[in-house]
Amino acid sequence: LGNRTRPCLKKKKKKSNSREFNKFGKTTCLEFFSNATEVEVLTEPVSKWRNVRGHNPLGLMYHDASRWGLTLQTYVQLTMLDRHTRPQVSSVRLMERSIHSARYIFVENLYRSGKMPEVDYVVLSEWFDWILRNMDVSVDLIVYLRTNPETCYQRLKKRCREEEKVIPLEYLEAIHHLHEEWLIKGSLFPVAAPVLVIEADHHMERMLELFEQNRDRILTPENRKHCP
């Protein structure tokens, strides 16, 4: 991601910039910006997580996180790495989450909730740390669509994704708390990029207005330093 020129490469690459989107409303936001010039959108590879040669690790994890958490998150890390490292075809890349949020939010939640043994957590962390040291998985901006857990829960029920029917409100509260620790307080892990916070509890019309108001911050690299 970012396809930045490394010191060992002589051929100069086209400068590119990547944005990561987090929390509910990501799909709507990405759709809003998808028609902009020189923008490519990479959505979450949910279809891959639901069907790995006939198996559904996403569904298995939601029904028995202690048994299948490592299985799913190993595959999530692989598919996210694939998205980060594939050739970038436009000057701005918008990603629905990234390898960073996969590790810092969802793996962390499994471990903190006691549903991932420490040995699994350490192995995933070792893989992630190796990737950070050896691959370019950087992002230039994180767009945090900040949403109340209760709002997330209601939207989740409306979405009616089969695997998500068993998700309780408490799970969403834990995920929200980790996002706040990571992106607002900065007390969880190092933040990979500047963070743009957009309050996302509003109705659709208001959200579209907010997306438009933040268009330059999201799509123009030199404006990212102005993010709150």
Which residues in the chain belong to E strands, given as ranges? 17-22, 39-42, 92-96, 141-146, 195-199
DSSP for 21-38? EESTTHHHHHHHHTTSTT
CA distances from 36 to 31, 40, 89, 98, 220 (A): 10, 9, 14, 21, 11
Residue 88 in 3-state DSSP?
coil
- Half-sphere CA count of 136, side-chain side, radius 13 A: 15
CB contact at 8 A, 38 and 17: no
Q: Which residues are marked as active site?
A: 96
